[in-house]
């Protein structure tokens, strides 16, 4: 027996409930009037399947994520002939949508999915804040082929929008507290990649101190990341919309600016951020993400229900990343924090990180600083493939003062050369050595 919990539009709710209740092996367990009642009902175990419609106030991607965490299958519903509602439901990630005219046998097959096993998100999301790299949040996917067997959960990302076209890679720039230079590295890496002919999208999801917009002299009153997340929550985010809220600030470099004040961190919901990053792979071959420092997940210790998680955006980004750069400062305190940060990453389902030691200088660690730092990181954290960035305060101060990149203000600086070498490693090819003259970029 499969138990369905409904939350539908009042004009046709009674007819849909009567239709579902008449199906063999399916029972309507609860008829909910709002989202809060629906979430409470499924959390209490009153249903295996949630049947929802757009008329449900507050239905967005984050609400679907909460239902997924509760371990229920979510199916969208619309009035017969309401193509706009069906399209919006699918944009929210619901690929299983029914209406009043759906044949009874097909409706029974879609709603009877609970008898085939647990909801796809029940096991994979129990200990994490995100659903991994999938864009549907773990909602089961239906097939149009009647011979294809029962619906299956989405365990892999959707295919690229164009046949044969590889999707973009996500590179997260992360590091411990203490201002090790995450934003400086992220901004200039993205600029070097774009300047070398690799279209790049720079995304700022730092919920504590987003500063990409200020570093690039962008107006931050309308943050692009928050706009993209709102569109994702509403089910209206597509590639043209994402491109519109991510302006091109340099040739080949688009930017999704972060929230201007930390108080707005609640605008960046984990499920929507995950969708934004997944869609970003289709907008640019390389997506560079500037993350916040904290990866603690202590909310569940303070609340006995689902609670907003400030660090969820960083955790989701790290889990979706194809490469993680851990930025640490080249001094004793910064290196100790870096070792502990790498150890903390080992508890997350993420790829092996690549260490980047910033502000390397002999005055902080002694003579031959690269050798000393490499020996310490190898001994205490087992780290190899370390990238070293020299301390160059004059160049970074000039770039920050002008609100521009190192390629524009200090094209011949040693820090820019080191960042360009790191960018080449990410791009999979060596980039030409920067010229000391004639390298100033034209800002759009």
Rounded to whole angstroms, how far apart are CA atoms 432 and 437? Answer: 14
Q: What is the torsion angle, in degrees rounded to the nearest 10, for the CA atoms of residue 376, residue 381, residue 384 and residue 388?
A: -50
- Please give the chain's pLDDT, 444 residues, in tens: 789 999 998 889 999 999 998 998 888 989 998 888 998 888 888 888 999 999 888 888 888 888 887 888 899 999 888 888 888 888 888 888 998 888 988 888 888 754 444 444 433 333 333 333 333 333 333 333 333 333 333 333 334 455 556 899 999 999 999 999 999 999 999 999 999 999 999 999 999 999 999 999 998 778 899 999 999 988 889 999 999 999 999 999 999 999 999 999 999 988 899 999 999 999 999 999 999 999 987 655 445 445 668 899 999 999 999 999 999 999 999 999 999 999 999 999 999 999 999 999 999 999 999 999 999 999 999 999 999 999 999 999 999 999 999 999 999 999 999 999 999 999 888 776 655 544 444 454
Two tokens, residue 191: 């600029």
Instruction: With CA atoms as reference, report the closest residue to 356 among 326, 312, 379, 393.
Output: 326
Q: According to the model, what pLDDT value does residue 113 have?
A: 56
Q: According to the model, what pLDDT value does residue 152 have?
A: 33
Instruction: With CA atoms as reference, report the closest residue to 286 among 422, 155, 134, 441.
Output: 422
Q: According to the model, what pLDDT value does residue 57 have?
A: 87
Q: According to the model, what pLDDT value does residue 400 have?
A: 95
Q: According to the model, what pLDDT value does residue 188 have?
A: 98
**DSSP state letter for 282:** T
Which residues are bridge partners to 50 per DSSP? Answer: 5, 74
Cα dist from 220 to 160, 295, 337, whole Å: 31, 25, 30
**DSSP state letter for 74:** E
Q: According to the model, what pLDDT value does residue 25 have?
A: 86
Annotate 372-423 with DSSP letters as a single string. Answer: HHHHHHHHHH---S-EEEE--HHHHHHHHHHT--HHHH-TT-HHHHHHHHHH
Cα dist from 265 to 225, 232, 308, 325, whole Å: 11, 16, 10, 23
Two tokens, residue 274: 């995950």
User: Which domains are present in the chain?
Assistant: 2-124 (3.40.50.2300), 169-427 (3.40.50.300)
Rounded to whole angstroms, how far apart are CA atoms 323 and 227? Answer: 25
Rounded to whole angstroms, how far apart are CA atoms 182 and 351? Answer: 18
* Contact status, residue 67 vs residue 50, Cβ threshold 8 Å: yes
* Contact status, residue 179 vs residue 328, Cβ threshold 8 Å: no
């Amino acid at each position: 027996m499969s138990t369905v919990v409904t939350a539908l539009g009042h004009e046709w709710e009674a007819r849909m409930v009567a239709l579902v209740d008449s199906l063999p092996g399916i029972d309507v367990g609860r008829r909910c009037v709002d989202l809060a009642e629906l979430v409470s009902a499924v959390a209490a175990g009153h249903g295996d399947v949630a049947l929802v419609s757009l008329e449900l106030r507050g239905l967005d991607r984050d609400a679907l994520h909460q239902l997924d965490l509760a371990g229920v299958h979510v199916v969208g519903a619309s009035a017969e002939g309401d193509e706009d509602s069906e399209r919006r439901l699918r944009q929210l990630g619901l690929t299983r949508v029914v209406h009043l005219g759906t044949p009874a046998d097909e409706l029974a097959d879609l709603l009877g999915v609970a008898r085939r096993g647990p909801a796809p998100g029940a096991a994979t999301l129990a200990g994490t804040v995100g659903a991994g790299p999938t864009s549907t949040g773990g909602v089961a996917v239906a097939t149009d082929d009647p011979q294809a067997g029962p619906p299956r959960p989405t365990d892999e990302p959707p295919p690229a929008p164009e046949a044969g076209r590889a999707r973009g890679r996500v590179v997260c720039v992360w590091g411990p507290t203490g201002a090790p230079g995450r934003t400086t590295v992220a901004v200039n890496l993205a600029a070097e990649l774009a300047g070398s002919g690799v279209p790049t999208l720079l995304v700022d999801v730092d919920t504590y101190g987003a500063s990409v917009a200020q570093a690039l002299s962008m107006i931050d009153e309308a943050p692009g990341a928050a706009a993209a997340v709102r569109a994702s929550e509403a089910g209206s985010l597509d590639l043209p919309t994402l491109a519109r809220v991510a302006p091109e600030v340099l040739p080949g470099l688009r930017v999704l600016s972060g929230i201007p004040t930390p108080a707005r961190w609640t605008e960046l919901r984990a499920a929507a951020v995950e969708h934004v990053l997944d869609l970003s792979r289709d907008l640019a071959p390389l997506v560079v993400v500037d993350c916040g420092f904290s990866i603690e997940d202590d909310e569940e210790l303070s609340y006995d229900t689902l609670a907003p998680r400030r660090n969820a955006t960083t955790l989701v980004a790290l889990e979706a990343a194809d490469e993680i750069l851990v930025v640490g400062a080249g001094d004793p305190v910064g290196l100790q924090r870096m070792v502990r940060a790498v150890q903390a990453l080992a508890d997350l389902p993420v790829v092996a990180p690549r260490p980047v030691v910033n502000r390397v200088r002999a005055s902080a660690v002694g003579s031959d600083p690269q050798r000393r730092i490499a020996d310490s990181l190898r001994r205490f954290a087992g780290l190899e493939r370390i990238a070293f960035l020299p301390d160059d305060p004059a160049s970074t101060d000039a770039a920050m003062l002008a609100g521009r990149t190192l390629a524009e203000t200090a094209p011949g600086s040693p820090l820019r050369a080191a960042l360009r070498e790191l960018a080449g490693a990410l791009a999979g090819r060596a980039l030409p050595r920067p010229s000391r003259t004639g390298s100033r970029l034209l800002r759009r």
